[in-house]
Amino acid sequence: MFTGPQIAELLEQLGVTHVVTVPDSTIGPWQAAIEQRERTRLVRVCREGEAWEVAAGLHLGGASPLVMIQCTGLFESGDAIRNVLHDWKLPVFAIIGYRSYLNQDTLPGDTCLVFTEPVLDAWKIDYHILTKPEQFGSIAEHFSACRAASTPGAIIVAEGGA
C-alpha cells in the first residue's frame, strides 16, 4: 500500500530517530529505504517484545523512537506493552501490519482478523487502521496528535497475505 521511500521520508520528517523493528513481508521491504535516511536509524531486534523495551530505553534517553512490527508480533508483545505504555507511561508510537486484512489468499481463516483489534483495545492503544493508499496522510496526523498529547498510539496498516 505504501512504498519504503514514502515511509522513510515521512518518518524522518516527523523526527523519528530510530525505527525498532522485526519485519514482515509488507513492512520488511521498507527497511532498505529507512536505512538510507541520514537522521533515522534502523534497529533490528530478534522479537517484538524487545522492540517496545528498546524503544522505551531510547525514549528515556531522549530519542524519538518508533516500533514497526506485524500484528503477530503485537500478540507476542503483551508484557512489554503493559510495562512500557502503562507502568512507565512512555508515549511510544508504533506502525503495525495487519495480516490478512485485505485478503486471506495465503492464510484462509487467518485468526489475526479475530484478535488484532481486540488486543489493541485491551492494551488501550489509540489506533487508526489504514486500508487505502489515499490514507497516507493519516500517519502524520495521528503521530503528531499522539506526540502533542504525549500519549502512545499506533497506525495499523492493512496487509494481504503473510
Partner 1 sequence: MPEKDALVAIHGARGPRDVVITTMCAARDWMTLPQQPLDLVFVPSAMGHATSVGLGLALAQPDRRVIVCNGDGSMLMNLGSLVSIAGAGARNLVVALFDNGVYEVTGSQPTPAPGCVDFAAIARGAGFESVFEFSHLESWQTNVHRTLTCPGPTFIWLRVEPAVGVPGPRSPGPAGERARRFRDALRS
What's the closest the beta carbon of residue 87 comes to partner 1, in angstroms?
5
Least distance between partner 1 and beta carbon 54 (Å): 4
Q: Which residue has the cell 508483545?
A: 77
> What is the contact surface with partner 1 in residues (CB under 8 A)?
17-18, 20, 41, 43-47, 49-50, 52-63, 65, 79-80, 82-84, 87-90
Q: Enumerate the β-bridge partners of residue 130.
A: 157
Closer Cβ to partner 1, 41 or 147, answer by number: 41
Q: Which residue has the cell 531522549?
A: 62
In this structure, the strands spanning 127-130 and 18-21 are unpaired
Cβ closest to partner 1, residue 108 vs residue 148? 148
* Nearer of residues 8 and 58 to partner 1, judged by Cβ: 58
Which cell goes with 69? 512490527
Q: What residues does 67 pair with on adjacent strands? A: 20, 94
